[in-house]
Amino acid sequence: MSIWLFERFVILAQQADQPAPGWLPYVQYAPILLIIVLYILLIQRPQKREQAVRQALLKSLKKNDRVLTSSGIYGVVTSVQADADEVTIRVDEATNTKLRMRLASIAHVLGTDTSVEKEAK
């Protein structure tokens, strides 16, 4: 019984050494290629699109825009210095409290503060 088993292993080993036909060796790379394509389509492209929208938001930031910072502070933009990567926001109307922070800390632009524009006119 053991000689018969040994002969089977020898035959299988000899068959394993023979080269596979044509494109068959490349099939083993298909799952890796599929994962790379899915990564690009599902993760990388939407992230680039989101970054482009955020950059456009920060470039269009101007005086009297109402904003929400990433730390949850609501305020009105009083000055933007894009070259210094700095923005100043007014957080309290009564005491005229202002905060200087990085431009990247602006999370959302809520709109334009119309009360400031009416007072200016």
Mean pLDDT of 15-44: 79
CA distances to 16, 31, 103 from 68, rounded to whole Å, are 65, 43, 12
Q: Would the pLDDT of 26 be above 80? A: no
Please report the pLDDT score of residue 80 as a whole number.
92
Confidence of residue 49 (pLDDT cuts 50, 70, 90): very high
Please report the pLDDT score of residue 47 as a whole number.
94
Please report the pLDDT score of residue 21 as a whole number.
63
Please report the pLDDT score of residue 28 as a whole number.
81
**Would you say 82 and 59 are in contact if contact means Cβ atoms under 8 Å apart?**
yes
DSSP assignments along 65-87, one per residue: EEEEETTS-EEEEEEEEGGGTEE
- What single letter denotes the amino acid at residue 75? G
- Digit-coded pLDDT (tens) for 3-15: 666 676 677 666 5
Please report the pLDDT score of residue 43 as a whole number.
92
Q: Would the pLDDT of 18 be above 60? A: no
